[in-house]
Chains A and B, each alone.
Chain A
Amino acid sequence: MPTDTMTTVMPIEIAQRSERTRLPTKLEPVFEISALSVSYGSTPAIREVTFDIGRNMVTAIIGPSGCGKSTFIRVLNRMNDLVPSARVSGKVLYHGEDLYRPRVDPVQVRRRIGMVFQKPNPFPKSIFDNVAWGLRVLGMKDDLKGRVERALEQAALWDDVKDRLKKSALGLSGGQQQRLCIARALAVEPDVLLMDEPASALDPIATSRIEDLMHELKQNYTIVVVTHNMQQAARVADMTAFFGIEVLPDKSRTGVLVEYDETQKIFTQPSDERTEGYVTGRFG
Chain B
Amino acid sequence: MRVTLQEELDSLQADMLEEGDLVLRSLRGALNALRESDAELADEVIEFDDEVDRRYLAIEQGVEVLLARQTPVAVDLRLVLAMLHINLHLERMADYCVTIAKLTKLVADHDSEPGMIQAFEEMGSRGEEMIKVALDAFVDRDVERASSLVDLDELIDRANRRVVRHVLDLGPDPALSEWGLRMIVVSRCLERIGDHAVDIGEQVAYLVTGEFREFTDASHERQSSQ
Would A and B touch once assembled, by the CB under 8 A criterion? yes
Binding site for B on A (CB under 8 A): 3-7, 13-14, 17, 20, 205, 208-209, 211-212, 215, 231, 234-236, 263-264, 267-268
- Nearest CB in chain B: distance from A277 CB, A: 16
Interface size on B, as a range, is 20 to 34
B2 and A268 contact, CB distance less than 8 A: no
Is B64's CB within 8 Å of the partner chain A? yes
If A208-B1, A267-B68 are given as contacts, then 12 extra A-B residue pairs at C-beta distance below 8 Å, sorted by A number, are: A4-B41, A5-B44, A6-B45, A13-B14, A17-B14, A20-B11, A234-B68, A235-B4, A235-B70, A263-B69, A264-B68, A268-B65
Contact residue among B3, B14, B71 (Cβ-Cβ distance under 8 Å from A212): B3
- Nearest CB in chain B: distance from A111 CB, A: 30
Give the contact stretch, choosing among B24-32, B78-86, B218-226: B24-32
Q: Give complex CA distance A32, B3 in Å.
A: 30
Given contacts A14-B18, A235-B69, A268-B68, contact A6 B3 (CB under 8 A): no
A264 and B44 contact, CB distance less than 8 A: no
Binding site for A on B (CB under 8 A): 1-5, 11, 14-15, 18, 25-26, 28-29, 32, 38, 41, 44-45, 47-48, 64-65, 68-71
Contact residue among A3, A211, A236 (Cβ-Cβ distance under 8 Å from B38): A3
B25 and A268 contact, CB distance less than 8 A: no
A3 and B41 contact, CB distance less than 8 A: yes
CB-based nearest B residue for A20: B11
Given contacts A208-B2, A212-B1, A268-B64, contact A6 B69 (CB under 8 A): no
Q: Which residues of B contact A20 (CB under 8 A)?
A: 11
Q: Give complex CA distance A6, B38 in Å.
A: 14
Q: Give complex CA distance A236, B68 in Å.
A: 12
Q: Give complex CA distance A17, B1 in Å.
A: 21
Q: Which residues of B contact A6 (CB under 8 A)?
A: 25-26, 29, 44-45, 47-48
Q: Give complex CA distance A211, B4 in Å.
A: 9
- Nearest CB in chain A: distance from B43 CB, A: 9
Q: Which residues of B contact A4 (CB under 8 A)?
A: 25, 28-29, 32, 41
CB-based nearest A residue for B41: A3
